[in-house]
Amino acid sequence: MPFISDTLSRVKPSPTIAMTAKAAELKAAGRDVIGLSAGEPDFDTPQNIKDAAIAAIAAGKTKYTAPDGIPELKKAICAKLSRDNGLDYSPAQISVGAGGKQTLYNALMATLNAGDEVIIPTPYWVSYPDMVLLAGGTPVLAETTLEGNFKLTAAQLEAAITPKTKWFIFNSPSNPTGAGYSRAELKALTDVLLRHPHVWVMSDDMYEHLAYDGFEFSTPAQIEPALYPRTLTCNGVSKAYAMTGWRIGYAAGPVALIAAMRKVQSQSTSNPCTISQWAAVEALNGTQDFLPGNNATFLRRRDLVVSMLSAIDGITCPTPEGAFYVYPSIKALIGKTTPKGTVINDDQAFANALLDEADVAVVFGAAFGLSPNFRVSYATSDAALIEACRRIQTFCAALT
């Protein structure tokens, strides 16, 4: 009898974390590796947020809290959802977890039975399908195309829905493509969902504040108020506030669902870190003045990376609306050989050879369910990006 559970054997470890760890290992061994695989801003957490955490420690706010968050944070989240999204939620409709990842996981654990289907537009954030599998459900992958800017169409959503569909996971701007749905594009999807009242929407708004060129962020419950009773609006402080290590995410939805998620959390985590919760209160209630400056930096980096990768013969790199990723295609490079004799059979071979022969770490597209592509995270310094893109240019030019 195997010791490890059957459920876990269906799940793979996070490939983004694996690639980042491999790059860190090579770096520690003295190699000059440039890492473009981690999904986290290189900015430091703003000082006012750090100060709030230090003040919380000094004030002895260092004990257990309610399982799904302190009232002050739930109030700050309600105010944020009203201010930024025009959504009216009460504190009883809010769940705070140890990162956006945990709130999504809690919701899936709280709702999925064997055979329940979850529609996931592809390419997807690596954790969605595996979290669905861990919770006993069935991921239903709906593949988008580079030509369609990696956005799911209404017809594709309609075709993916069955009587067993429980959730539709929506993520805009997206990890890994950076694609952001316009209001009209999102409305086309919510119109489909209106015709299928048994389907719930899990909107992962983690990259809400990272949007460029005047892209206007919107979220399903805001675009279609009739979906409010069956929508879980998920977000967090990790990306916009450079707080990946603090581990605070949150979700807003119907009271019964939030109560079920609380039960999962109370028997697993107890509560998200108390000190981080007080820091998140300051993140949401405090100044938001640094966001435009950060976005200007990300926009400059996005344009830099898109132009340098687009200059490569064999790479097609669309310009995304948000997040801090690009997801170029390497279709024209498949079958070529590196100077060391490695054949680029697929995007995994490309990413491995790029790391081994050019010291640049990216994540291969198969990890996100759509090939042959690779994901570049441009949340790193301009100098590192320029050097990394030069190395990718040299690497690709040497392929025969």
Q: Considering the complex, state which of residue 141 and residue 334 has its C-beta at the smaller distance from ligand PLP.
A: 141
Nearest of 241, 240, 242, 382 to residue 301 by alpha carbon: 382
Smallest distance, ligand PLP to C-beta of residue 6, A:
26
Q: Which of 204, 347 has the CB closer to ligand PLP?
A: 204
What does the alpha-carbon distance between residue 244 and residue 203 come to, in Å, rounded to a whole number? 19
Q: What angle do CA 225, 287, 321 make, to 5 degrees?
A: 55
For the bound state, the minimum distance from the C-beta of residue 14 to ligand PLP, rounded and expressed in Å, comes to 9
91 membership: H or E segment, kind and range? none
Q: Which residue lies nearer to ligand PLP by CB, 105 or 395?
A: 105
Place of tokens 């108020």: 225
Q: Which residues make up the interface to ligand PLP (CB under 6 A)?
A: 39, 99-101, 125, 171, 175, 204, 206, 236, 238, 244, 249
By beta-carbon proximity to ligand PLP, the closer residue of 171 and 218 is 171
The least distance separating ligand PLP from the CB of residue 230, rounded to whole angstroms, comes to 20
Query: Looking at the DSSP assignment, which residues form a beta bridge with residue 204?
Result: 171, 234
Least separation in angstroms between CB 195 and ligand PLP: 27
Q: Judging by beta carbons within 10 Å of its beta carbon (0-12, 13-18, 19+), is residue 44 exposed, middle or buried? A: exposed
Q: How far is the CB of 301 from ligand PLP (least distance, A)?
A: 17
> Residue for token digits 């040497």?
398
Nearer to ligand PLP, 139 or 249 (CB): 249
Least distance between ligand PLP and beta carbon 32 (Å): 26
Whether the CA torsion 89, 247, 16, 258 is positive or negative: it is: negative
**Shorter beta-carbon distance to ligand PLP: residue 128 or 395:** 128
DSSP annotation string for 324-348: TEE--B-GGGTT-B-TTS-B--SHH
Give residue number: closest CB to ligand PLP: 99
